[in-house]
Structure 1
Amino acid sequence: MNLLLGAHRATVGGRHHALYSGAEIGCEAVQIFTSSPRQWKEQPVTDADLTAWEEARRATGIQHLVAHDSYLINLCAGDPAVRERSVTAFAAELRRCDQLDIPYLVTHPGAHVGAGEAAGIAEFATTMRRIYDLAPELRAVTLLETTAGQGTCLGHRFEQLAELIEKIDLPDKVAVCLDTCHVFAAGYDLRDEAGYQATMQSLESTFGAAAVRVLHLNDSKTDLGSRVDRHEQIGEGYLGDRAFQQVITDPRFAGRPMLLETPDLERHADNLERLRRLARDVLHGESR
């Protein structure tokens, strides 16, 4: 079983600290913010930053890396000023990923803020193409994250993500990040075999499992179809152990980084051990 488990780790004191703290709890993959997620001001990668980062990679052996973009970015914003600021910020996010040799940048597909789903999808696709067209040297792949569907946020239906990918039409630059809490809150059941198979059938009939490059493993504080994004510790929310057992042992996701974004970084080690135990149970013919 090719299982790559890890977590989103804090970068207080420098981005490289996320790798050391990840290694301490047994991460094989790590996700970070390359800059503050709640500020427009960019935090550039200095030569000293890069040296410390590369040394941390060598020291920890962690090679499976993912970044998440700023929460302020909205690439389908109807307000031109917000959209242009988002374009500048997102291009900078991609450049930092390239500097740090991080292959994937996770982003939420944005909120149409009343313009309508069709208009939001069209605007996002146009904007994403423009970013890569203006900087074709960018190597990092953008991963569109499945969302819970709060407010006017796009990406809570698999059909929306498939349409975005089709309209952007950059198959080497755009793929998907599957978040377990978000898809469950959006109405896709993962808890039992029948629900899981129905969800995977919907996924395969739209963008397909091959497009899923990274998974976020989060339980949900809210019930199926709530459209509320609230993460919970693994096995302690409405999803429960069986959902995660099915996801992490699904051969379609073998070798994909699977990252915790659960509350309280101090509990990441416990959550990782729980996931590994669930995987071992399957190998021994047991299920939760």
Structure 2
Amino acid sequence: MKYVGAHVSASGGVFNAPINAKAIHAKAFALFTKNQRQWEGKALSKEEILRFKNELDKAEILPKYVLPHDSYLINLGHPEREAREKSLQAFLDEVKRCEALGLDKLNFHPGSHLKQISEEACLEYISAAMNNVLRQSESVTLVVENTAGQGSNLGYKMEHLGYLMEHSIDKERVGVCIDTCHLFTSGYDIRTEECYSETMEKFDTIVGFKYLKGMHLNDSKPDLGTRVDRHESLGKGKLGLDPFAFIMNDPRMDDIPLVLETIDESLWENEIAMLYRLMKSPLKEHA
């Protein structure tokens, strides 16, 4: 079964996120548990936590279909030790917030080398930070997102994601989120059934579907391989609707949060409904 939703607003309190998800008939959602553009956030009160859990129950969405995202400021691969440590502590705080809310995942971008160190050194820093957080936490799975490769961001190669999975000290608590826009603009084509199958076979070989914990379903303004991160509404970009039909009919994407981050939130309810309508017949190779 597919669980589709969107990255909804938590403005006014985290408890508003499930309320906003329910309003668009979402079966999954993403949120920021604090202001994503600030290093520190106000501690979650017992009342906020209880209300969040109550609203989640009212929305009839299980915690495993919620995919929180961390702050955009965090860079676990920062070349400077002091900045890297600051990011590590902020990341750990994000994990603890998820634990407090009863959520079992945290989605994050791997990090950036800022053109000061090698990709290999940056990946080592990211891996070390992930392992550090795993040692200091108990229940949250660290879900690293593929990137478009804009600027000095890592995660645009499947090999980057595979490295982080392989070098984890707890392979049961790490995973990957595939963003369709990022996947496409980083150079992996999914526009035809043949290209989709080839790309997903590469993912399974290099990373492994056992690590797939969620997806961001976004069309793309830029073209294939441009390494530019610009989302578009479904069917209005360079991807078109076919890739989303492939995903919605692929059983490997069952039972994980499938989250829209498309640019016009007024369309989310319609986009969710459209995605479910695309579920007509399974792909031949996965029938």
- The answer to whether the superposition gives a TM-score over 0.5 is yes
Report whether the alignment pairs 1:189 with 2:169. Answer: no
Distance in 1 of aligned mates of 2:182 and 2:41:
28
Partner of 2:219: 219
Distance in 2 of aligned mates of 1:191 and 1:232:
15
Distance in 1 of aligned mates of 2:271 and 2:185:
20
Q: Which runs of 5+ in 1 are unaligned?
A: none
Distance in 2 of aligned mates of 1:30 and 1:53:
13
Partner of 1:20: 19
Report whether the alignment pairs 1:70 with 2:71. Answer: yes
Distance in 2 of aligned mates of 1:229 and 1:168:
27
Contact 1:36 1:43 in 2 (8 A): no
Report whether the alignment pairs 1:123 with 2:122. Answer: no
Distance in 1 of aligned mates of 2:263 and 2:15:
21
Partner of 1:210: 210
Contact 1:34 1:43 in 2 (8 A): no
Q: Give the count of matched residue pairs.
A: 280
Partner of 2:154: 154
Q: What value does the CA root-mean-square deviation take over the aligned residues? A: 1.3
Per-residue CA deviation, residues 25-49 of structure 1 (Å, 9 max, x unaligned), is 1100111100111001223110111
TM value normalised by structure 2: 0.94
Partner of 2:84: 83
Partner of 1:103: 104
Partner of 1:201: 201
Report whether the alignment pairs 1:263 with 2:259. Answer: no
Query: What code does the residue aligned with 2:46 have?
Result: D
Distance in 1 of aligned mates of 2:240 and 2:67:
25
Query: What code does the residue aligned with 2:20 have?
Result: S
Contact 2:186 2:227 in 1 (8 A): yes
Give 1:178 deviation, angstroms.
Answer: 0.7
Partner of 1:277: 277
Contact 2:180 2:216 in 1 (8 A): yes
Contact 1:33 1:70 in 2 (8 A): yes
Distance in 1 of aligned mates of 2:242 and 2:261:
19
Distance in 1 of aligned mates of 2:58 and 2:251:
30
> Which consecutive segments of 4 or more residues in structure 1 shift more than 4 A?
none
Distance in 2 of aligned mates of 1:210 and 1:154:
21
Identity fraction in percent:
35
TM value normalised by structure 1: 0.94
Contact 1:145 1:177 in 2 (8 A): yes
Q: Which runs of 5+ in 2 are unaligned?
A: none
